[in-house]
């Protein structure tokens, strides 16, 4: 019954329903494979965060993206 929270940026091309389902399935299977925790009540929550609200290294992702271009 682990709980997993994934936070990542909401990009211009947002995550598809299939990608979200694949992340949820993949994490749940990983927990079964590595530590044999029963998957039926494993909860996975994906938070999509605006790039203005997500910072790495003291800068927002918005700024980091613009610098790369």
2 among known catalytic residues:
yes
Question: How many Cβ atoms are within 10 Å of 28's Cβ, its own excluded?
Answer: 18
Q: Find the catalytic residue in 2, 27, 44, 62.
A: 2
CA distances from 36 to 24, 27, 42 (A): 16, 12, 12
Give 47's strand partners: 7
Considering only residues 20-59, where is the footprint of its own copies by CB under 8 A?
A: 20-31, 33-35, 37, 39-49, 52-59
Minimum CB distance to its own copies, residue 68 (Å): 11
Catalog residues that contact its own copies under the rule CB under 8 A.
1-9, 15, 17, 19-31, 33-35, 37, 39-49, 52-63
Active site residues: 2
């Amino acid at each position: 019954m682990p709980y997993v929270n994934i936070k990542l940026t909401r990009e211009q091309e947002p995550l598809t329903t299939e990608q979200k389902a694949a992340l949820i399935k993949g994490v749940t299977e990983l927990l079964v494979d590595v530590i044999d925790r029963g998957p039926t009540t494993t909860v996975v929550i994906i938070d999509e965060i605006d790039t203005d609200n997500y910072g790495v290294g003291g800068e927002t992702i918005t700024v980091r993206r613009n610098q790369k271009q």
